Structure 1
Amino acid sequence: MNLINNITQIAKKVLLSEAEAIARLADFIDEDFQNCVEAILNMKGRVVVTGIGKSANIASKIVATLNSTGTPAIFMHAADAIHGDLGMIQPEDFVICISKSGNTPEIKVLVPLLKRKGSKLAAMVSSIDSYLAESADYVLNANVEREACPNNLAPTTSTTAALALGDALAVCLLEARGFSSADFARLHPGGSLGKRLYLKVEDIYKQNQAPKVTENATLRQVIIEISSKRLGATAVVKENTDELVGIITDGDLRRMLDKYESTEGIIATDIMTASPLTIEPDQYAAEAMAIMQEKNITQLIVTDSGKFEGFVHLHDLLKEGLV
């Protein structure tokens, strides 16, 4: 077997092995898991997640997921805990300790100290017969049969399983609290993710010009309005009411030249597209992006109760990083 094929087979084997291990975790979701979720929901403090080695890395990620989904959490390295960091834990906190074996020297030193603090302790372990599991108030079974590593040594499948179990815990807490997309947005104001959840059309369109002509506008007036406002389109509105009746785009002008041999006497209603796609100011900018992508268009007219307000353009959304 050549090197490329060998690499492909190894990669597939690792992924399938870890996928099977995660699937097996579903069989381990029991009363202890449920009681653990309920205890966290009822706690007055924070969730403290700890571990050592690769488990510490997983603990740190679980903390980030809990915090971002509405459960206050902090990370504590198990080795640092016995050298002073234990002071961060309060009696009303809930501690989750991650360890594959549950029998490492650091864990055996740490557990009695945690128990003395009075905090509830959950053990996320692969071995439910371990010292950690037997000492904990709750056991989160993250058992794996073997690592993806061919020597069954490097933490691979076990850390993936712990990470997945942490996600399951976080999502259960999220749903139990009724944590909404609006709540999520408040905790994620930065970046494209946050903007998708809170940025609205009204935050964008007002920075653009608002090209419009009336129904009886001449072709010359239409062209001047489109060219001067530089959005590639103009709205067509009823005179004195601003009620939207149509849109004229650069493409409509080109199609008009194919349709009419003479442009004399042509007015806006002759070339406009009636009942164009619109969006309301209080809708999310991400919705505007979705409409533009689905319909393969570059701008949307903004209306409020049928009255023309302005335009939101694809470039606005790209500038905001929504793609």
Structure 2
Amino acid sequence: MNNTFTSAQRIIELAKRTIEIERNAIGHLAELLTTDFPDAANCIIASKGRVIISGIGKSAIIASKIVATLNSTGTPAIFMHAGDAIHGDLGTIQDNDVVICISKSGSTPEIKMLIPLIKRGNNKLIAMTGNLDSFLAKQADYVLNTYVEKEACPNGLAPTTSTTAQLVIGDALAIVLLNLKGFSSTDFAKYHPGGSLGKRLYLRVADIAKNNQIPRVDTDTDIKKVIVEISKKMLGVTAVLQDEKIVGIITDGDIRRMLNKHDNIKGLSAKDIMTANPQTVEMDTLALKALELMQKKGISQLLAMDKGQYKGVIHLHNLINEGIL
């Protein structure tokens, strides 16, 4: 038992050591920023092309992640593996593109071969490296310094702290570009239409209510028929209408309370158990706003309306299924 505890303690110590090393390295990055950073950002903003990001090994993986982040925040970007570039993929780079090369040492054979080929064109080259004396740094138009004192790996071999630094600088660049472009939450939703974040920004009540059945009864509808309507439409609720106007709502909770109160339900109708003046929401309202209204009122459904006309129901379960909640 004691050995198990000691082993767990040792594991936690190693994990903490790794986190602390990387945390300290990230904190130091802010001190390494120079005017090359804003110059590089403005260069990308001014460009009429895309951002081509290249790397080798673990840096290539980081490059792919930065590409994904840029694309999702409004800056068109493409990944180009440094090894593949010198074997036919160099055509990825077009005249107006800005190229970012990521390399810890800045002097790997693939990078040394790739840089002269890039420099033959008129493309601006941004280096992301931890070695300011490297071939890459000296050939670049702008240098983003990702120097780290040591890797978290005890042997100093596995790229750990260095790739974290690259990732952080990539994120910093993406967020700066996002702000310079005035990229809004609405823009974000356009790039993330299938995700829960995007849905919170664009999905409207109409998009959900149209997929639901439309439960409805009249004020004089017999209670048995009310129960059938609620069960048939499978939303746990029905609207109560009079002359096509909403006058009330009946939920499955109302049905339970009625059964507890009345031994004989014969002769009861919808108007006898309905809740008057139900909560409604317009069809063009954001689903997120509908959720906020449900939470505020402590209810699980709203009647959806379009210019005074009853159009259906939006239920809390719909919002859960869509990832809004």
Give TM class, smaller chain.
Answer: 0.7 to 0.9
Of the structure 1 ranges 66-75 and 100-109, higher mean CA displacement relative to structure 2 is found in: 100-109
The partner residue of 2:51 within 38, 47, 50 is 47
For 1:252-309, what per-residue CA distance to the aligned partner results, in whole angstroms no more than 9, with x for missing partners? 1212334456656655444333444433222344554566677775433212345422
**Aligned counterpart, 2:302:** 300
Deviation at 1:166, TM superposition (A): 0.8
Deviation at 1:50, TM superposition (A): 0.8
**Aligned counterpart, 2:24:** 20
The partner residue of 2:112 within 108, 114, 120 is 108
Count of paired positions: 321
The partner residue of 1:32 within 36, 48, 58 is 36
The partner residue of 2:155 within 151, 157, 164 is 151
Query: Which SS does the other structure have where 1:139 is aligned?
Result: strand
Deviation at 1:204, TM superposition (A): 2.6
CA pair 185-9 structure 1, distance change in 2 beyond 3 A: same
Q: Work out the CA distance in 2 between the residues paired with 1:320 and 1:98.
A: 38
How well do the aligned residues superpose, as a CA RMSD in angstroms? 2.8
CA contact (8 A) 1:281 1:302 kept: yes
For 1:101-123, what per-residue CA distance to the aligned partner results, in whole angstroms no more than 9, with x for missing partners? 22223222322222221211111
Gap runs ≥5 in structure 1: none
Equivalent pairs: percent with the same residue? 59
Deviation at 1:314, TM superposition (A): 4.3
Query: Which SS does the other structure have where 1:231 is aligned?
Result: coil
**Aligned counterpart, 2:12:** 8
Give the AA of the match of 1:205.
A
CA pair 171-304 structure 1, distance change in 2 beyond 3 A: same
TM-score by length of 2: 0.86
For 1:57-83, what per-residue CA distance to the aligned partner results, in whole angstroms no more than 9, with x for missing partners? 111111111122221111111222223
Once the two structures are superposed, the pairs formed by residues 200-279 of structure 1 within 5 Å of their partners are 200-215=204-219, 217-237=221-241, 239-242=242-245, 244-259=246-261, 263=265, 266-279=268-281
Q: Work out the CA distance in 2 between the residues paired with 1:294 and 1:157.
A: 46
The partner residue of 2:124 within 120, 126, 140 is 120
CA pair 90-10 structure 1, distance change in 2 beyond 3 A: same
Gap runs ≥5 in structure 2: none
Of the structure 1 ranges 56-65 and 263-272, higher mean CA displacement relative to structure 2 is found in: 263-272
Of the structure 1 ranges 75-84 and 144-153, higher mean CA displacement relative to structure 2 is found in: 75-84
**Aligned counterpart, 1:186:** 190
Of the structure 1 ranges 192-201 and 20-29, higher mean CA displacement relative to structure 2 is found in: 192-201
Q: Work out the CA distance in 1 between the residues paired with 2:85 and 2:278.
A: 63
Q: Work out the CA distance in 1 between the residues paired with 2:42 and 2:272.
A: 66
Deviation at 1:186, TM superposition (A): 2.8
Q: Work out the CA distance in 1 between the residues paired with 2:39 and 2:161.
A: 26
Give the AA of the match of 2:256.
R
Q: Work out the CA distance in 2 between the residues paired with 1:303 and 1:29.
A: 54
Give the AA of the match of 2:233.
K
Q: Work out the CA distance in 2 between the residues paired with 1:215 and 1:51.
A: 70
**Aligned counterpart, 1:91:** 95
Give the AA of the match of 2:217.
V
Q: Work out the CA distance in 2 between the residues paired with 1:8 and 1:16.
A: 12
Query: Which SS does the other structure have where 1:117 is aligned?
Result: coil
Deviation at 1:198, TM superposition (A): 3.8
Deviating 4+ runs (over 6 angstroms): 293-296
Q: Work out the CA distance in 2 between the residues paired with 1:93 and 1:285.
A: 40
**Aligned counterpart, 1:63:** 67
Give the AA of the match of 1:123.
A
Deviation at 1:147, TM superposition (A): 1.0
TM-score by length of 1: 0.86
CA pair 292-86 structure 1, distance change in 2 beyond 3 A: same
CA pair 225-86 structure 1, distance change in 2 beyond 3 A: closer
